[in-house]
Amino acid sequence: MHNIHLSPEIIERSRQHRGRACIFESLDPRRTAHLIVDMQVGFLAPGAAVEIPLAREIVDNVNRCSAKVRETGGLNVFLRFTYDEDEPQSWSFWYDVISSPQAKERSRNAFTRGSPEFELWPDLDVQPQDVVMDKTRFSGFVPGTCELDALLRERGIDTVIVSGTMTNCCSESTARDAAQRNYQVIFLADANATLTDEEHNATLSNIQTLFGEVLTVGQLCELLARNEAPA
């Protein structure tokens, strides 16, 4: 698990900007979605194409959050990073400029639909009422590359909880774009993972300062329990 650190300076700066310590004094679970980002075999398996070893250590926390969201009337959405050779909007900058030919081939082999590495990690708690959705960019909110925004708006969702991997890439991109689209954002400090503590904590600082609220899974579960939808 990451050694989580948010500096007192960052916490105080965010408090001064907001005028209060915490954004979320209440939370309607029925208008809340838990976005589980890229918890796929290609990121979690030992020796996988883009192995993030610490992502294996957050699976229990991700599952704990998913169970509480389900129990209290919210929605779980499992996002899968996808390589799609035939998508209408080619992502040539990433695959042909930023990535080497070898890196592009690793992505193609791992994250094309049907590849074993494309599938969700088998230890994830995925239930029939949950949604599984593919995306072809880091963020699930890029127009024309994923239907996440339309799904959430159709269901009246106004708040998103972000967990998954990589903290500083797909998780952060999804959280930033959610905030830009007027969703309230909760980012889970102990249910996101990347390669180093430095990268992880840099993202937590970015989110806390500008894009949302950083909480632990325990804090999130308490918040949901206080506002549980009536049976």
Is 231 contained in some domain?
Answer: no
Residue 2 is assigned to a structural domain of this protein: no
CATH number at residue 67: 3.40.50.850
- Kindly report, residue by residue over 16-69, the tens digit of the pLDDT: 888 888 888 888 999 999 999 999 999 999 999 999 999 999 999 999 999 999
Could you report the per-residue pLDDT of 191-225, keeping only the tens digit for each?
999 999 999 999 999 999 999 999 999 999 999 98
- Domain annotation covers residue 113: yes
Q: Domain for residue 26, yes or no?
A: yes
Domain-located, residue 197: yes
Tokens for 105, please give them: 């081939």
Supply the range of the domain harboring residue 83. Answer: 8-226
Q: Which amino acid is at 190?
A: D
Residue 15 φ then ψ, to 5°: -65, -40
Q: Are 53 and 45 in contact (CB under 8 A)?
A: no
In a domain, 3, yes or no: no
Q: Is residue 1 part of a domain?
A: no
0.85 surpassed by pTM: yes
Q: How many domains is the chain partitioned into structurally?
A: 1
State the virtual CA torsion across 64, 148, 209, 214 in degrees, nearest 10.
Answer: -10
